[in-house]
Structure formats: C-alpha cells, structure tokens
Amino acid sequence: AQSVAQPEDQVNVAEGNPLTVKCTYSVSGNPYLFWYVQYPNRGLQFLLKYITGDNLVKGSYGFEAEFNKSQTSFHLKKPSALVSDSALYFCAVPSYGNNRLAFGKGNQVVVIP
C-alpha cells in the first residue's frame, strides 16, 4: 500500500532560520506526493504537490519541497521561517488507482520568535 512517514514529532526552529519538515514515502510506481498544513482550529490547507518533472516544487506561502527518488524523500522546506508558520504539517500520498489520501502522522512546527 502507498504510505508516507514523518519521522519527527515536533520541529522547533528560530524565526528567520531555514525550516525543514521531513517525509519519506513508500509507493509502487511513480509517486504523487502532497503537503498540507493545518493551522489551529482550521482545516487542512493544500501547500504543494509533486507529480512529475522538476524535483523542486514550489508552493504556497514560500514553501518548497524536494523530491528525491534515491532517498524516497519529499522534504518540505522554507528558507526563512516565520512565527506564523507554526502549525501542523502533513505529508500525503494517494492510494494507487484511486484518490483516497494516506497521511503521515503530522509534524508540529514551532517557530520561536
């Protein structure tokens, strides 16, 4: 089954520093990969996706993610974190042959002023 793993529980980063949220995947065939963010008391918001092509994908709010086939990773990055980036981040992959999303456990990001 298609799955993703987010190895860390919480990521703490100082404001202005680079932010990385890790995700590894296990899929058959070519992967489609997504990142979503959940702000407090809000629903999941789509950030970006990888389908094919350029391994560096740019998304909303200055986020980007790098698809690395050899490491089966799709880490989310932001060059300079803001306090407002503090939220829960989910990596997700659709199941093969349908579009049910399988989510990672989520990473709590805390940006320290």
Partner 1 sequence: EPEVTQTPSHQVTQMGQEVILRCVPISNHLYFYWYRQILGQKVEFLVSFYNNEISEKSEIFDDQFSVERPDGSNFTLKIRSTKLEDSAMYFCASSGLASENNEQFFGPGTRLTVL
Interface positions with partner 1 (CB under 8 A) = 32, 34, 36, 41-46, 49, 51, 90, 92, 94-106
**Number of helices and strands (H, E) in the chain?**
0, 12
Taking the complex as a whole, the smallest distance from the CB of residue 80 to partner 1 amounts, in Å, to 25
In the complex, minimum distance from the CB of residue 100 to partner 1, in angstroms, rounded to a whole number: 4
What Å distances lie between residue 16 and 65, 66, 83, 86, 88, CA to CA? 18, 20, 9, 13, 19
Nearest distance, CB of residue 7 and partner 1, angstroms? 14
Contact between 14 and 111 under an 8 Å Cβ cutoff? The reply is: yes
Q: Choose between 36 and 81: whose C-beta lies nearer to partner 1.
A: 36
- Rounded-to-integer distance, Cα 42 and Cα 49, Å: 20
Distance of closest approach, residue 44 Cβ to partner 1, in angstroms: 4
| Close Cβ partners of 105 (under 8 Å, ≥ 6 residues apart) | 5, 6, 9
C-beta of residue 4 within 8 angstroms of C-beta of residue 23: yes
5 or 82: CB nearest partner 1: 5
